[in-house]
Amino acid sequence: MDDEKLKAWFFREIFPQEAALTRFIRRNWRNESDIADIRQEIYARIYSAAQTGLPLQPKPFLFTAARNHLINLAKRSRIVSIDLVADLEALVVEVDVMTPERHATARDELRQVQAGLDQLPPRCREIVRMRRIDGLSTRKVAEQLKIAPNTVDQQMVHGMRALVDFMLGGAGKVRRSAHKAPDAGEAEA
């Protein structure tokens, strides 16, 4: 492999992952002072392995190599934490490769969700937004809107049902169950 091409590939595909790689190492290695050295060792391994042929999926290749390197380091340590090695070996590196098709599909779905939210009544839309998008608890939403927590829960149920209906091709209208008042004949019984 031509050294210039290899360097260009490394700086195009691997080096932009530095922040994510550092976070990965930090989550899985106890000694903070080792992180920079470990990252450099992983880079050296990736660079060396790529000399024989560039991987088809660089990001998964990088994180698999990082995982394996951390396992080897943990096994070679004088004091090996069995929990650490077990945690690392159980770690499944899932890298979500966002293809252009998946990106376009995600954008379309986001537009559809926004259209469904826009159809909700204002109060219902506000509650769904506060609970699902802002991540507030029922109690916090109730306090901010000065309504009962029960009302927040009811509005969430109505809003989410309407949103799911819309996403599945329906009208997306809020349907409140009508509570029937007992007939005069039923009240006497």
pTM exceeds 0.85 for this model: no
Give the pLDDT score at 146.
Answer: 95
Give the pLDDT score at 31.
Answer: 83
pLDDT in tens, 39-77: 999 999 999 989 888 888 999 999 999 999 988 888 776
Alpha-carbon distance of 11 to 121, in angstroms, equals: 50
Q: Map residue 145 onto helix, strand or coil.
A: helix
Alpha-carbon distance of 104 to 106, in angstroms, equals: 5
The DSSP letter of residue 17 is G
Cβ contacts of 160 within 8 Å, gap of 6 or more: 128, 132
Give the pLDDT score at 188.
Answer: 40
Give the pLDDT score at 189.
Answer: 36
Half-sphere exposure of 130 (CA within 13 A, CB side): 20
Give the pLDDT score at 98.
Answer: 60
The answer to whether 32 and 14 are in contact (CB under 8 A) is no
Which residue positions in the chain have pLDDT lower than 70? 1, 77-99, 102-103, 176-189
Give the pLDDT score at 84.
Answer: 55
Give the pLDDT score at 183.
Answer: 47
Phi/psi-derived region of residue 147, left when phi > 0, alpha when psi is between -120 and 50, beta in every other case: beta
